[in-house]
Structure 1
Amino acid sequence: MSIKRLTALLVAGLGMGLGLGAQEPLTVERAIRRAWTDQAGLRAGQALVEGRQAEAESARALRLPSFTLNAQGMRTNEPMMAFGMKLNQARIGAADFNPLVLNHPDPIGAYGGSAVVQQPLYAGGRITAARRAGEFMAEAEQASQEHRKQETARAVVEAYFGIQVAEQALAWVDDTRAWVQGMEDFVGARVAQGLMLESELQRLKAVHAQVDAQKAEVLRQVHTARSGLGLLTGGGPVEGPLATALDVQEATTPGAPVRRADLVSADLQARAATEGAKAASGNLLPSVGLELGAGTLHHSWSDKGNWSWAAVGLSWKVFSGPDRAKANAARAQANAAKEMLSFKQQQADHEVRAAKEAVAAAQARCAAAKESLLAAETSKRLREARHREGLTPLTDVLDAEAALQGARNLLLQSLYDLRTNRAALDLATGAPIEGVHP
């Protein structure tokens, strides 16, 4: 089979012999977008993003005032509480100072409530640091989600083109099977005429059995690859033809350099850890707050007492061993996050270098594989023609067929490596895989 026919088959969508039905061809872009929207793993990641955003919102709300309503009803004859309740109800009289009444009051009831507004004025920087840490963590989780999407896109590329490789291999196995059957018919006729040995026919039958076993294995690979792509895209095994060709002559034009999402996430996590350390240190600084309140206590609907208050208070935990230890731990975590960012940057640089070298090597293998395939096809045609003339033994023809199969497999693997290595390079550099933007 020529390279021209290979390209035509890949463009048209392979595997039609499997009875996949006349469905709309699936492009690699659609497969990637389907994975981004339907895969349960990525939906779980999005839920993590929403959780971080909710936490950031709660941190921003720390600077807002709190408003508390209290309601109560009670009945008691406890001396101090009974006198205090009457005082709050504004119904203390001279008789209430009688020692007998003070020491042994009758049970009284009361109901009422209060409203309190509390506003932090200064908290040692804890509120601002916590707000920034929450925002950084929410942005970091969003960046991590973007990186998870790109990792999923790379996996989709590998699975998508893995299907094409398996189905092209299946098409070539069918070609080989048909060729072996034709050789069996030809050799069988020659054996019947006494022009060839029976051993050559038996050898072809053995080859036929090997090809049948090979076809069963390739079919398994096809089904496994389609099931794997279905798992990535959030459904069952993918059916129907694939529309995006495996063999791409030129790589997509790179766009403007972008920073990898996982590096953005690591940077934001380091910033969040730094702010967390500031918040922990703020626990050792004074805090100032404002409190406004009003209350009422009723003996009856019209017999009641009302009061209000306003206060500004300062609280300073001058020394706290646990808080000091937590501040030290937070600073250590901030340093660890910075070191992790540095390591991830080094790791990313290494991945870019390795991916570029892998792409270059795959391009060289593709060029060599195409030349090898042309040579193997030519050699097989010549040997088969000489065998039909009785000038070449069958073993030479079978050797040529084995060499052709090897060249085909090498070409498929080289094309697959080139396509997937380009996806790996896009992932390493932060570029959109297959040009698909989230």
Structure 2
Amino acid sequence: MIDKKKVSIIALGIMVFILSANAQDRRYISITEAVETASRNNANVKMSELDTKMANANYRQTDAVFLPQVDLGYTAMSTNNPLNAFGFLLQQQTVTAMDFDPAKLNNPGARQDYSAKVEAKLPLLNMDMIYARKGAKAQEEAYKYKAQRTKEYIEYEVKKAYTQLQMSYQAQSVLEASLKDVKQIHQSVTNFYDQGLIQKSDVLNAQVQVNTIESALAKAESNIHNASDGLRLLMGLESAEEVYLTDSLSQKIESVQNNMLSIGRSDIMAMNKALDATNMMVKSSKMAFLPRINAFGAYQLNDSKPLGFNANSYLVGINLSWNIFSGNQNKNKVKSYQFQRDKMQEELNLHVKQSQLELDKTKRDLRDLQIEINKQKASVKQADEALRILANRHKEGLVNTTDLLMSQAQLSQQKLMLAQAIMSYNITQSYFEFLSELE
């Protein structure tokens, strides 16, 4: 027969090995480290930074408003067209008196021309492009503020996930303490049953409570793993089996005095800059009604042989162009940008009002949660005292087992509700900081 004592020792050894292996996979992480890691690696933060870089590249494209454009080309041509053939001679500076012979002029034969040409264009005054450049600069600044707001939001999400992980560990701790108490009750009830003092149903009720808490503990362990996975995703780290250890859950006490929404909040500044960009586009489209002034120049080398550059010439000038009428295109483009600007102004006004309402609501939520925490702390003390009294009376046979188990369950429930209230308070506090941009 198998020695039950040996089997128990082996099973205990296996459990110790499994627990130690799980403990090795757990690494402590502070809230500061989690936030800093997310700021560097989070995918949304990286994408917002790329948007900022793209906006900067779009702005740099408008350098063409002031810088020249230079083109270099080399052309090889052959023709027997009389006009073009005589033009080749002029460009190659090889015209002689014999070339004016009518027979040659009318039938020049095949003529070749090889030319290298450098062309340059220099903007002098293009008011529409100048305002378009200012609009691109405002758009770049808008994306910078958007990137800043994205980073602030990810910081809030990390704090939220970290607090939820703290709650998972707190729930596990409460359940472990509850399991210890229930097992003691079960052992006491078993002893009473062995002495014939109580019925079998009391023992079964105690065992049911043990099974229920053990099942809740297994779920609490899964919640710890799930919360760790969520935190790892926010930090932008590769998927792994590593489980994070956190600081213990405690109420985050911060002074809440700011009642008014800051107009310097990054998302509001982003919308203001986008509005500025649209204003610049309105001005740019209006400036399209004004004339443009640009300078141009070209330097050309011509020869009848592929690599010859005997003849050279240049051409420089200033061009004034004025689009008097474009089929109402410019007129309606101005209106379109004006309507877009007005819409963005309405969106900004609405966003500010909604943000102020959300800030006020969050502050009230903090007050309500503080009241709930105070009530839950009192309830935990009362439930603990009630359990102590019932436990003493149960030992004396004055209270049935069901009442004792219910009292113990009530204490565990109050502790979990207190932890839940503290978690909600801390998350709401972080959200308030996000809304008010408190450091």
Normalising by structure 1, what TM-score? 0.89
Determine which of 165, 168, 188 is the counterpart of 1:166. 168
Partner of 2:324: 318
Between the aligned partners of 2:252 and 2:300, the Cα distance in structure 1 is 80
Q: Give the SS at the match of 1:20.
A: helix
Shift in Å, 1:116: 2.0
Distance 1:18 1:368, change over 3 A: farther
Letter in 1 for 2:389: L
Counterpart of 2:177 in structure 1 is 175
- Determine the structure 2 residue equivalent to 1:413: 420
Point out the more displaced range, 249-258 or 89-98.
249-258
Unaligned runs of 5+ in 1: 1-15, 433-438
* Aligned CA distance change for structure 1 residues 145 and 316 (closer, same or farther; 3 Å): same
Cα 1:95–1:252 change in 2 (3 A) is: farther
Please report how far the alpha carbon of residue 94 of structure 1 lies from its aligned counterpart in structure 2 after TM superposition.
2.5
Q: Contact conserved, 1:118 with 1:292, CA < 8 A, in 2?
A: yes
Query: In structure 2, do the counterparts of structure 1 residues 189 and 234 end up closer, same or farther at CA, with 3 Å as the change threshold?
Result: same
Contact 1:49 1:142 in 2 (8 A): yes
Aligned to 1:11: none
Give 3-state SS (helix, strand or coil) of 1:70's partner: strand
1:61–1:382 Cα change, 3 Å: farther
Distance 1:219 1:189, change over 3 A: same
Q: Which amino acid aligns with 1:328?
A: K
1:56 corresponds in structure 2 to: 59
**SS state at 1:19 partner:** helix
Q: 1:312 to 1:33 in 2, by over 3 A?
A: same
Query: What is the aligned partner in structure 2 of residue 43 from structure 1?
Result: 46
Q: Equivalents in 2 of 1:20, 1:135: separation in Å?
A: 53
The 5 A counterparts of 1:365-380 are 365-380=372-387
Residue 6 of structure 1 corresponds to none
Residue 239 of structure 1, CA deviation: 2.9
Question: 1:406 Cα deviation (Å)?
Answer: 1.9
1:159 CA displacement: 0.5
Distance between the aligned counterparts of 1:392 and 1:352, measured in 2?
A: 51
Residues 1:278 and 2:283 aligned together: yes
TM-score relative to the length of structure 2: 0.89
* Preserved CA contact (<8 Å) 2:263 2:269: no
Mapping for residues 233-312 of structure 1, pairs under 5 Å: 233-235=235-237, 236=239, 239-243=243-247, 245-248=248-251, 250-251=253-254, 259-300=264-305, 304-312=310-318
One-letter amino acid of the counterpart of residue 164, structure 1:
Q
Most deviating of 190-199 and 168-177: 168-177
What residue number does 2:83 align with? 80
Query: Stretches of 4+ moved more than 6 A in 1?
Result: 253-258
Distance across 1 between alignment mates of 2:397 and 2:20 = 36
The separation in 2 between residues aligned to 1:73 and 1:46, in whole angstroms, is 48
- Number of the residue aligned with 1:122: 125
**Which digits, 9 at most, give the CA deviation of each residue in 1:70-121, with x for residues without a partner?**
2212222232222211111111222323333223221122212222221111
**Which shifted more, 332-341 or 321-330?**
321-330
Query: Following TM superposition, by how much is the alpha carbon of 1:324 offset from its aligned partner in structure 2, in angstroms?
Result: 2.7
Partner letter of residue 86 of structure 1? L
Q: Is the 8 A contact 2:114 2:303 kept in 1?
A: yes
Aligned partners of 1:231 and 1:55: how far apart in 2? 32
SS state at 1:390 partner: coil
CA distance in 1, matches of 2:422, 2:20: 22
Matches within 5 A, 1:90-129: 90-123=93-126, 125-129=127-131
Q: Deviations over 1:181-208 (max 9, x none)?
A: 2211111111111011101011111112
Deviation at 1:419, TM superposition (A): 0.7
Q: For residue 425 of structure 1, what is the aligned residue in structure 2?
A: 432
Partner of 2:92: 89
Match of 1:131 in 2: 133
Deviations 1:151-175 (A, max 9, x none): 1111111100100101110111122
Pick closer, same or farther for the CA change 1:380–1:17 going to 2, 3 Å.
farther
Structure 2: how far apart are the matches of 1:101 and 1:21?
A: 98
1:385, 1:59 → 2: CA distance?
84
User: After superposition, where does 1:323-402 map in structure 2 within 5 Å?
Assistant: 323-402=330-409
SS in 2 for 1:112: strand
d(CA) in 1 for partners of 2:24 and 2:263? 41
Q: 2:222 maps to what in 1?
A: 220
Deviation at 1:387, TM superposition (A): 0.9
Give 2:146's aligned amino acid. Answer: S
CA distance in 1, matches of 2:135, 2:332: 20
Q: Deviations over 1:346-366 (max 9, x none)?
A: 122112111111111111111
Look up the match of 2:13: none
- Aligned: 1:153 with 2:155: yes
Structure 1 Cα separation of the partners of residues 243 and 313 of structure 2: 75
Shift of 1:23: 6.7
Q: Measure, in 1, the Cα distance between the counterparts of 2:110 and 2:246.
A: 86
Structure 1 counterpart SS, 2:284: helix
Q: 1:197 aligns with which of 186, 192, 199?
A: 199
Shift of 1:254: 7.5
Specify the code of the residue in structure 2 equivalent to 1:103: N
Tell me if structure 1 keeps the 8 A contact 2:301–2:309.
no
Which structure 2 segments of 5+ residues have no match? 1-18
